[in-house]
Amino acid sequence: MDQLLAGLRAAAEPTRLRLLALCARAELTVTELTQILGQSQPRVSRHLKLLCEAGLLERFREGAWAFYRLAQRGAGAPLADHLVALLPTGDPGLALDLGRLDGVKRSRAAAAAEYFRDNAGEWNRIRSMHVDEAEVERALLAAVGERALDDHLDIGTGTGRLLELIGPRAKHALGVDLSREMLAVARANLERAGLTHCSVRQADMYQLPLGSGAFDLVTIHQVLHYLEDPASAIAEAARVLAPRGRLIVVDFAPHTLEDLRERHAHRRLGFRDTEVLGWFRAAGLDTRPPVHLPGQPLTVSLWSGDRAASADGAARPRAEAVR
Same domain for 61 and 166: no
* pTM of the predicted model as reported, rounded to 2 decimal places: 0.74
Query: Distance of alpha carbon 74 from its chain centroid, rounded?
Result: 19
Same domain for 292 and 158: yes
Q: Residue 47 belongs to a domain with what CATH number?
A: 1.10.10.10
Query: Helices 2-11 and 77-86, interaxial angle, to 10°?
Result: 40
Same domain for 266 and 147: yes
Q: What average pLDDT does the chain have?
A: 87
- Lowest-confidence range among 223-237, 238-252, 263-277? 263-277
Same domain for 134 and 43: no
- Lowest-confidence range among 126-130, 211-215, 295-299? 126-130
Q: Are 176 and 203 in contact (CB under 8 A)?
A: yes
Q: Is residue 263 domain-resident?
A: yes
**Distance between CA atoms of 146 and 134, rounded to whole angstroms?**
19
**Listed residue (139, 101, 154) closest to 294, CA to CA:** 139
Same domain for 152 and 29: no
Q: Is residue 317 domain-resident?
A: no
Same domain for 216 and 177: yes
- Lowest-confidence range among 97-111, 205-219, 266-280? 97-111
Q: Residue 220 belongs to a domain with what CATH number?
A: 3.40.50.150
CA contacts within 13 A on the Cβ side of 184 = 19
Mean pLDDT value of segment 268-283: 93
Instruction: Show which of 85, 100, 115 is a domain's final residue.
Output: 100
Same domain for 139 and 72: no
Q: Are 163 and 195 in contact (CB under 8 A)?
A: yes
Q: Is residue 146 domain-resident?
A: yes
Q: Is residue 319 domain-resident?
A: no
pLDDT tens digit string along 72-122? 878 888 999 999 999 987 889 899 999 999 898 888 777 756 655 666 556
Mean pLDDT value of segment 118-143: 76
Length of the chain: 323
152 DSSP β-pair partners: 173, 217
Q: How confident is the model at residue 139 (pLDDT cuts 50, 70, 90)?
A: very high
**Cβ of 117: how many Cβ atoms within 10 Å?**
9
Query: Distance of alpha carbon 223 from its chain centroid, rounded?
Result: 15
Same domain for 252 and 137: yes
Same domain for 296 and 230: yes
- Predicted pLDDT of residue 4: 80
What share of the chain in percent tops pLDDT 90? 57
Q: Are strands 215-221 and 291-293 parallel, antiparallel or unpaired?
A: unpaired
**Distance between CA atoms of 183 and 63, rounded to whole angstroms?**
11
Residue-number span of the structural domain to which 209 is assigned: 129-307
- Predicted pLDDT of residue 323: 43
Same domain for 158 and 285: yes
Number of domains in the chain: 2
Q: Is residue 111 domain-resident?
A: no
